[in-house]
Amino acid sequence: MAALAFALAFATLPALAGDSAPAEARGRILLVLPFDNRTGQPSLEWVREAAPEILSSRFRSAGFEPMSRTDRMYALDHLGLPEGFHPSRASSLKLAETLDADSIVVGSYITDGTGIVAEAQVVDVNHLKMSEAVTAHGEMRELVSVFDTLAWKLTKQMDPGFSVAQETFVAAGSGLRLDAFEQYIRGITEPDQQERLRHLNQAVLLSPDFGPAWMALGREDYLGQQYEKAALAFAKVGRNDPDALEAGFYRGLALLFSGDYTNAEGAFAGVARVLPLAEVMNNQGVSLARRGMDGVPLFRQAVGADPSAADYHFNLAVSLKRKGNAAEALTELAQCLRLRPNDTEAQAVQRAWSGQASAKVLGADDEAEAKVDPLERIMRTFNAAAFHQAAQMLDQVDDSRLAALPAGDRAQKLAAQAGAYLDRGLLLEAERLYLSAVATDGRLPEAHAGLAEVRERTGDAEAARKEAHAALKLKPQASAYLVLGRLDLAAGHLDEAGKEAGEALKLEPQSRAALELRRQVEAKAGQGR
């Protein structure tokens, strides 16, 4: 929903923070500005943009709605503020009054020997005041964890009831290579396109799983009409990445323009399964039509989703005519022209289909334009605001369904959602939902077992043991035994680890994790003989 933050500056887009926003969204819209470089070192200027990238990512995982860099630059530009805007207290408050954001985060950083110190404050828009400053510091090589820690402190400041551990915030960025991240930041901020490509290619070379860098590289290749390269780059954006749907859409476009209609149809279909928006279904229909297949059902869905879009009526008309349904085709073409009276191609096609086009009444250029079988039109732009708004609506539906459930069932659903996040390695999101499940029903063993695994992955062995024992006290859980077993194995307590692996196997005899734990225990015991 970050893309909807365009509305913070302009009334032409629906504002999430306005009256139409759900109650859950109000108070959660954030604008994170570039940090002020107070180091005096031009080589560290890239950290200005690195700060909002890291903070926004963590805020999103914590349940806030931060604006993206693109949205923020767009808003600042239309407010007459330069890209290198360095907000003071007064100017930040002025910006807060101008924007319809709930909070604005401003900050700075300095060097301290071989370390870095970051400081930030939150502008409370409703009360037009700035919070107390919070700081985080560490070695320069730990820059990501420094800003992860800062994000945690700011989150606690904005939401005092937030209970996700600091270790989980730090763990969320632990897999990110600093050199790859620097190349990515330089790649999205360089004014020269060749330099952007150089830095982004270096970023993905250093970190092949770094989704944001692949997304940025895909955009550059797409804009440069390097469609095959763009399709490959967009395909590297993982399903856990916030840009996954946008990447799928533009991968579909790149494949369309490359002539790979089969894979293009698959890319659009993948996006439509999550968010069946008009532009996605339209392009999926185009992909089918390019292969000589029937796109009518998809064009009908596109028209139904957005009946005010002339192109969807045009495409439906073309496909209907190709199927032999001339009467309905003319009706849809007429609707296209009602919505866009100056559409010269549609005018010419209407004359041709109505039998009005002939060399006697049309000039040579008009006659050539009057195509009996024109191609369906491709929607070339990604409406990020609509995508995120649709995603928000789906979340609202899920939240409403959850709220209507009895406490026990609601906790079960939350724990299941948390488990799905945990399986995908999204520890921050998983912990947040497991904590909600425990708060809803503290007697749910699955929630405690899940929290135990989160704590184990973030390196808090004591808390992991506590949660695992809490789960086992309620009901035997293979996953809880496995957490204890792995912790005991790491501590050299082989007898205990072996027993816990055995208990897990009693509950789940085919568990690969339990079998692997038993194998490791036996191997280590054999080494000690």
394 and 370 in one domain? no
CA distance 172 to 335: 51
Domain boundary among 121, 147, 175: 175
Helix (H, G, I), strand (E, B) or coil at 497: helix
> Can you name the residues that pair with 104 across neighbouring β-strands?
31, 123
- Ramachandran quadrant class, 109 (left: phi over 0; alpha: psi -120 to 50; beta: rest): beta
156 and 251 in one domain? no
Specify the CATH number for the domain of residue 165: 3.40.50.10070
Q: Positive or negative CA dihedral for 493, 496, 502, 506? A: negative
30 and 114 in one domain? yes
60 assigned to some structural domain: yes
Q: Which residues contact 22 (CB under 8 A, 6 or more apart)?
A: 392, 396
Distances (CA, A) of 22 to 28, 103, 126, 389, 392: 11, 17, 17, 11, 9
Q: At 238, list the tokens.
A: 């993982």
165 and 195 in one domain? no
427 assigned to some structural domain: yes
Closest CA to 205 of 173, 228, 250, 236: 236
Name residue 467's amino acid.
E
Residue 213: per-residue pLDDT: 97
CA distance 153 to 201: 33
Number of domains in the chain: 4
Q: At 272, list the tokens.
A: 């439509």
517 and 479 in one domain? yes
284 assigned to some structural domain: no
289 assigned to some structural domain: no
3-state secondary structure 254-286: HHHHHCCHHHHHHHHHHHHHHCCCHHHHHHHHH
Q: Positive or negative CA dihedral for 13, 14, 19, 22? A: negative
**Would you give per-residue pLDDT tens digits along the chain (529 residues)?**
222 222 222 222 233 233 333 334 446 888 898 999 999 999 999 999 999 999 999 999 998 988 888 777 776 776 677 766 666 666 666 665 666 778 889 999 999 989 999 999 998 877 777 889 999 999 999 999 999 999 999 999 999 999 999 999 999 998 899 999 999 999 999 999 999 999 999 999 999 999 999 999 999 999 999 999 999 999 999 888 888 989 999 999 999 999 999 999 999 999 998 888 899 999 999 999 999 999 999 999 999 999 999 999 999 999 999 999 999 999 999 999 999 999 999 999 999 998 854 434 444 444 444 456 799 999 998 766 566 666 666 566 667 777 788 888 999 999 998 998 898 888 999 999 999 999 999 999 999 999 999 999 999 999 999 999 999 999 999 999 999 999 999 999 999 999 999 999 999 999 999 999 999 999 988 886 5
- Cβ atoms of 314 and 430 within 8 Å: the answer is no
Residue 275: per-residue pLDDT: 82
A 10 A CB-CB count for 394 gives 12
Note down the domain range covering 504.
405-527
Q: Are strands 115-124 and 129-130 parallel, antiparallel or unpaired?
A: antiparallel
Domain boundary among 175, 206, 240: 175
Residue 304: per-residue pLDDT: 94
Distances (CA, A) of 35 to 118, 140, 159: 9, 16, 22
Specify the CATH number for the domain of residue 339: 1.25.40.10
Q: For residue 396, count CB atoms less than 10 angstroms from its CB and return exposed for 0-12, middle for 13-18, buried for 19 or more.
A: middle
Helix (H, G, I), strand (E, B) or coil at 65: strand
346 and 213 in one domain? no
17 and 160 in one domain? yes
17 and 139 in one domain? yes
312 assigned to some structural domain: yes
287 assigned to some structural domain: no
3-state secondary structure 294-339: CCHHHHHHHHHHCCCCHHHHHHHHHHHHHCCCHHHHHHHHHHHHHH
133 and 11 in one domain? yes
Distances (CA, A) of 349 to 174, 369, 371, 373, 438: 58, 8, 6, 8, 63
- Cβ atoms of 425 and 240 within 8 Å: the answer is yes
Residue 286, CB-side half-sphere exposure with 13 Å CA sphere: 29
> Can you name the residues that pair with 137 across neighbouring β-strands?
117
115 and 6 in one domain? yes
109 and 204 in one domain? no
Domain boundary among 115, 144, 175: 175
288 assigned to some structural domain: no
Q: For residue 184, count CB atoms less than 10 angstroms from its CB and return exposed for 0-12, middle for 13-18, buried for 19 or more.
A: buried
369 assigned to some structural domain: yes
Q: Taking each helix axis from N to C terminus, what angle separates 211-223 and 178-189, rounded to the nearest 10 degrees?
A: 30
514 and 412 in one domain? yes
- Cβ atoms of 203 and 187 within 8 Å: the answer is yes
Residue 128: per-residue pLDDT: 76
Closest CA to 407 of 385, 439, 434: 439
The H or E element spanning position 37 is strand 36-37
